[in-house]
Structure 1
Amino acid sequence: MSSASALRSLRSVAVSSSRARLAAPKSGASKLQQLLVTGRAVTQCQRSFSVSARSFGEGASDVAVSSKLSEEIKYEQEAASADGAAEPDFIKEFKSKGVWTVVDNAGQDEITLTRKFGNESLRLMFSIADLQAEEDPAYEEDGAEAEDADADAEPSNTSPIRASLSITKSNGSGALNIDAVCQEGRFIVDNIAYYKDAQEGTELTAEADWKRRGLYLGPVFETLDTGVQEEFEKYLTERGVDDTLATFIPEYAEYKEQQEYVKWLSNVKTFIDL
């Protein structure tokens, strides 16, 4: 029951009670009995209003927020249905090759790819947090002339995704950590770090991260001799860290972000509706 309805009910009860008292004969019920009857009616109405208010949440905006969330969920679900299968073809094709295993935990913003290469174990991690929002209007206005000049050029990937690759060996204690960026269908290596202790180089704990901060992590990759850079790029390509993977990672990040977004909408709506 809304506030207006409650007030109308209270007024109705008050008017009815007044009329009853005016119409009642002097020899009828006592004033005390009449007051008790009127009080019970008002209390019952107030209790009904209180229950109705709680059923819609504690705030006046709850219903409106819930409604908008429902609209957004419906829109996203319809868009997903229009796209077809629950799992896109590019993911099925990637998995069918049997090279990399995708480890994707619901509710987490990081995705892990793992594989074996001889006596080596490779683990590549990336996050959907790196996805950038669409360019803001101010940027688009400032760059209008540049866009017109490059109108015939192919669109570039505006959302570079950082990737962290670790390589360990079953017959060794060390580890290599390669920091790179997936952009425009290729890997751009930033840094290659070596750790004598494989656990120290690959463990995902705050303590291990703190220990790594004080270590020398090697030079910036682009400052290395050109020949060294080229050979190391071949080293990575041989292990499946290639242009195909660099194209897959941003696509999967967008797919993952969309899945988490729909779950977020549903979770928030459920909370609002409680």
Structure 2
Amino acid sequence: MACLFRSLTKTLIQQLHNQQKIGTCLPLAGRKISIANPLSHFRRTYISEMRKAAFEGNILRLLRNEIQCELERSPPDRPVTRFRSFTVDDRPGEQWISLKRKFGEREDIKVEVTMFDGAAPALNSGGGAGGGTGEDVQLHITLIVNISKGEDDVLEITCSAWPDTIEIKRLLIRSNNKAPAQPYDGPEFKKLDDELQDILYEFLEARGINDELAVFLHGYIKNKGKTEFIRWMETVKSFVEKKK
């Protein structure tokens, strides 16, 4: 590389020397070429390009190593497309998945599921919080269950999915028509009568929204997290590799 730099410098000096000879017949005001400035500009451009190439090369090296490490250490599984009566839409590149099913002759059920969006201390065997080791944490997933019967109104139930249980947070009737600016969305679920709470859990249980689904979703989202992380790194790598 040093030989190439010296060769290019020598060529540039020779060209400038020849141009100076030609320019001796011109008035002083017409001589706009100097030896120092073009060489300085050449060096700055050369160094800038070298730094940019080294920086991009380092990014690519780290990304390739991380991708290879993830694929060798714990490669993601191929996502399943069905769970019990639900069809599963993975929605690649998004932080959501969707589950759909029919229930009976009239009900259409759609469940929108987030990736992990929270956590809470896990309870130990004595009923208290864990010791904070990093493993004593249970991750949280939000579920939005929409149940329609071919009409304008939709029953919307927001749930929390913990590693092995479903917890109802709120329910309301949502209209597909023009809604009020500030609709009343009902009380918090825990403020309802205990018997009514139990019946609503049975209502969801009959439609497959249950603790078994929570276990499935936690496994699925964990796998999706790996897939999306590798996809994100591949996208960044492709952008850095792209030529102007």
Whether TM exceeds 0.5 here: the answer is yes
2:162 corresponds to 1:191: no
Residue 265 of structure 1 deviates from its aligned partner by: 0.3
2:220 corresponds to 1:271: no
Residue aligning to 2:24: none
Q: Which runs of 5+ in 2 are unaligned?
A: 22-34, 122-128
TM-score if structure 1 supplies the norm length? 0.65
Residue 232 of structure 1 deviates from its aligned partner by: 0.8
Per-residue CA deviation, residues 167-195 of structure 1 (Å, 9 max, x unaligned), is 0003x432100011001311111111013
TM-score if structure 2 supplies the norm length? 0.72
Residue aligning to 2:109: 122
Cα pair 1:157 1:184 within 8 Å, conserved: no
Structure having the higher helix fraction is 1
Alpha carbons of structure 1 residues 225 and 71: separation in structure 2 relative to 1, 3 Å: same
Matches within 5 A, 1:98-247: 99-118=85-104, 119-128=106-115, 130=117, 147=130, 158-170=138-150, 172-195=151-174, 197=175, 199-200=176-177, 211=179, 214-247=182-215
Name the CA distance, whole Å, in 1 between partners of 2:136 and 2:180: 34
Larger displacement relative to structure 2 (257-266 or 57-66): 57-66
Residue aligning to 2:6: 10
Alignment coverage as a number of residue pairs? 215
Name the CA distance, whole Å, in 2 between partners of 1:63 and 1:114: 45
Per-residue CA deviation, residues 102-125 of structure 1 (Å, 9 max, x unaligned), is 012221111010000011000100
Ranked by relative contact order (alpha carbons within 8 Å, sequence separation 6 or more), the top structure is 1
Residue 12 of structure 1 deviates from its aligned partner by: 8.8
Name the CA distance, whole Å, in 2 between partners of 1:222 and 1:17: 81
Structure having the higher strand fraction is 2
Alpha carbons of structure 1 residues 61 and 80: separation in structure 2 relative to 1, 3 Å: same
Name the CA distance, whole Å, in 1 between partners of 2:206 and 2:95: 28
Residue 271 of structure 1 deviates from its aligned partner by: 1.0
Cα pair 1:180 1:187 within 8 Å, conserved: yes
Residue 68 of structure 1 deviates from its aligned partner by: 0.4
